[in-house]
Structure 1
Amino acid sequence: MLTDCPILLDDEHLLVIGKPEGLLSVPGKGPEKLDSLYWRLQQMWPGIRVVHRLDRDTSGLLVFARNLPTQQHLNRQFADRTVSKSYIALVYGHPAEMKGEVNLPIRYDPDHPPTHIVDFEHGKPSQTLWTVLERKPGHTRVLLEPVTGRSHQLRVHMQALGHPIVGDQLYATDFDLSTASRLCLHAETLEFTHPVSGERLRLTLPAPF
């Protein structure tokens, strides 16, 4: 049930685990969308609690709480932006600069679900830092550091930059998607303070692409 989900940390308070690409973080609407990482974990650790999520097609690290006080503590860390996350992505093309940031407000687009769009009037403030790691033929490997945590933020911001993420069926429709086997976006590092010990933890799960 968890053969593709490496566990990086497991104690009586929390669990840090790697979610594979193609698996929901939490159940969706309808019985056909029950299978998810959260549902699978519930079978093994009853009472486990959700703290944050990744898109179905994004792989990488997630932290789950084993009890309510831990969940509340971690939720505060996310709300206060003291949790650090970094992602690895492959994007189409080659950004002109070696690093930069995107500050564009985002909102859900009800006319084209499940996409989100940049909207300067109604969107929520959103900020992403990006750094070029390697330039390859036709695409670039980048480090993405979201300052805010909006839904689809990294995908929308890379599209707005003119370099959508390789394999993105929602936001890279102007590019050849036939050569990509998956969305090339992976939550590689997660850093937070342990709610009980107070230790600052940094977990890393290398990208599979």
Structure 2
Amino acid sequence: MKHSRSHAWTVEGSADGERVDKFVTMMGENWSRMAVQSWIREDRVRVNGRPVKGNYRLKIGERVEVSEPPPVELKVEAESIPLDVVYEDSDVIVVNKPRGMVVHPAPGNLCGTLVNALLAHCEDLSEIGGVIRPGIVHRIDKDTSGLIMAAKNDRAHRSLAEQLRRHEVDRSYIALVYGNLPHDRGTVDAPIRRDPRHRQRMAVGYKNGKSAVTHFEVLERFDKATMLRCRLETGRTHQIRVHMKYIGHPLLGDPVYGSRKQKDPIQGQALHAQELGFDHPRTGKRIRLEVDWPEDMKRLVNQLRKNTI
């Protein structure tokens, strides 16, 4: 039986006068404001021990407590979805994920994901990620294409996760960004946290942000854009997308971090996980893999070379 989780915060100066529903949404873990408002109606949100309405304005020093409902058990079904398998053995499988495929199920999106496909393809997947994320060691965004690895047993999962933690996994991406970068190579070292104003986004934040480092080099320059190779030293959510926006060069096609003034020539961010390197969890042998760009990015590069967009 799964139990609810409790959370508590003390209101500080920056939140003085904030609506309680907005405050809890901002402080929570991927909570939507709609969900928080329903919890308020169920008396799961209290201020100084008393239930409040969603429009209650907080005061400095007040204590906000949330009793988060227990997670709903979700059943994930295997689906016969074609996979572009780049490498596979009894411990690891590496797939070239297409743009538009979500990595793992979530409430409201239980089918058509990489996990659904892996469950049909593999006899076993590690259980460390739980029912929703079996085998999943790391993620790439829905509209980012390219290499992603999964573990078939817990021993392999622990090894790969530890390599990621120690920054021993090589992950190289091809990115197309707006504008012309002034340097041929560089490093963005800027911590990332959830955007307090837009909870579905991430942002650079030096207060409470987690360390994030992206190395980049220019591969080709166009009239209005630049092709980069980006290498991740860390693996924060939306890291390359956030860092490129932070330095003033958002990715072409990025629906979240891109410029609304631009008419994007591609559906989804022009970002492709091209190279992946890791030590095999059983043999220790270094595995290095590389895949070609997707067709939509190839077309986009040809258009940029011809200056037709």
TM-score of the aligned structures, taking structure 1 as reference length: 0.94
- Contact 2:255 / 2:268 at 8 angstroms: preserved in 1? no
Secondary structure at the counterpart of residue 236 of structure 2: coil
| 1:43 partnered with 2:116 | no
Q: Which deviates more from structure 2 when the two are superposed, residues 99-108 or residues 170-179?
A: 170-179
- Structure 1 residue 108 displacement after superposition: 0.9
Deviation at 1:33, TM superposition (A): 4.1
2:116 is paired with a residue of what secondary structure? helix
Q: Distance in 2 between matches of 1:161 and 1:207?
A: 25
Q: What is aligned with 1:176?
A: 262
Matched, 1:15 2:93: yes
Q: Any idea what the Cα deviations from partners look like across 1:159-190, whole Å, max 9, x if unmatched?
A: 01110000001111344134223310010000
Q: Over the residues paired in the alignment, what is the CA RMSD in angstroms?
A: 1.4
| CA distance in 1 between partners of 2:261 and 2:179 (Å) | 10
CA distance in 2, matches of 1:40, 1:6: 11
1:71 is aligned to 2:157 = yes
Partner of 1:194: 280
Deviations 1:119-149 (A, max 9, x none): 1111111111010000112111100011111
Deviation readout 1:59-102 (Å, 9 max, x if unpaired): 11011111111111111111111111000010001101111111
Partner of residue 124, structure 1: 210
Change (3 A) 1:153 1:36: same
Give the secondary structure class of the aligned counterpart of 2:120: helix
- Tell me which residue corresponds to 1:146: 232
Q: Name the TM-score, length of structure 2 as normaliser.
A: 0.64
More strand by share: 1
- State the SS of the aligned residue for 2:164: helix
Q: CA offset at residue 205 of structure 1? A: 0.8
Larger Cα-atom Rg: 2
1:110 to partner: Cα distance = 4.5
Structure 1 residue identity aligned to 2:209: G
1:25 is matched with: 103
**Contact 1:165–1:184 at 8 Å: present in 2 too?**
yes
Cα 1:33–1:110 change in 2 (3 A) is: farther
Number of positions where the alignment pairs a residue of Structure 1 with one of Structure 2: 207
Q: Give the whole-Å Cα distance in 1 for the aligned partners of 2:178 and 2:264.
A: 13
Of stretches 193-202 and 34-43 in structure 1, the one that deviates more from structure 2 is 34-43
Contact persistence 2:244–2:251 (CA under 8 A): yes
CA distance in 1, matches of 2:195, 2:262: 24
* 1:55 and 2:133 aligned: no
Tell whether the 8 Å contact from 1:85 to 1:191 is kept in structure 2 after alignment. yes
Query: Do the aligned residues in 2 keep the contact of 1:166 with 1:177 (CA within 8 Å)?
Result: no
- RCO comparison, higher one (Cα < 8 Å, 6+): 1
In structure 2, the gaps of 5 or more residues are 1-79, 126-134, 298-309
Task: State the distance in 1 between where 2:253 and 2:264 align.
Answer: 8
8 Å Cα contact 1:169/1:177 also seen in 2: no
**Alpha-carbon distance in structure 1 between the residues aligned to 2:265 and 2:165:** 38
CA distance in 1, matches of 2:182, 2:81: 41
Summarize the Cα distance change of 1:92–1:175 in structure 2 as closer, same or farther, 3 Å threshold.
Answer: farther
Provide the rounded CA distance (Å) in 2 between the counterparts of 1:177 and 1:184.
Answer: 14
* Structure 1 residue 113, shift from structure 2 partner: 2.9
Where does residue 19 of structure 2 map in the other structure?
none
Greater helix percent: which structure?
A: 2
Q: 1:34 aligns with which of 102, 111, 115?
A: 111
